[in-house]
Copies of this chain bind each other. A is one copy, B any other.
Amino acid sequence: MSDAETFAVVLFSGTDDKLQSAATLSVGAAVMGRPVQIFLQYWALDAFRADRITKDHGVSPEGGPEGAAAIASRNSPHWSDLLRQAAEVGEVHIHACADSMELLGIAPEDLDPLVEGVWGVASFFGAADGSVTFI
């Protein structure tokens, strides 16, 4: 691989376990010198609303109460802070999917400043280097 290959993520899921995983992978990619492109759809987009980004978004059903408790008591930084860190060590871009914005009735001003803007799917594919990771 070229170190410069973009880590392109369609971030669809809005539970804290998957968001934490996506943020951890983004930090890792940024540290390795890879540009990161994150495209927010559906429940992940909803989780990036400014008024609820740090609230409890639950975990995947398979995590169960024990898993949710483990995540709630973690010592590691919140996924939104990890994404800010990733943007400090590397090139990280986060865009909202236009279709999902309309579907969920979200306006650009509703979103956390981590989100740079709104894109159509074609713009995201144009910025990706070929491979896409769906989370």
Contact = CB atoms under 8 A, between A and B. Distances in A.
Interface stretch (A25-33, A48-56, A109-117): A25-33
Contact of A13 (B60, B105, B120): B60
A14 B62 contact: yes
Interface string A75-109: 01000000000000000000001010001110000
Report copies per complex: 3
B76 A28 contact: no
Interface residues of A, number: 54
Interface of A: 1-2, 5, 7, 10, 12-15, 17-18, 21, 24-25, 27-29, 31-32, 34, 41-43, 46, 57-58, 60-63, 67, 70-71, 74, 76, 97, 99, 103-105, 120-122, 124-126, 128-135
Given A12-B18, A28-B120, 14 more contacts: A7-B132, A10-B21, A14-B62, A15-B62, A17-B42, A17-B43, A24-B97, A25-B125, A28-B121, A28-B122, A29-B125, A31-B122, A32-B126, A42-B67
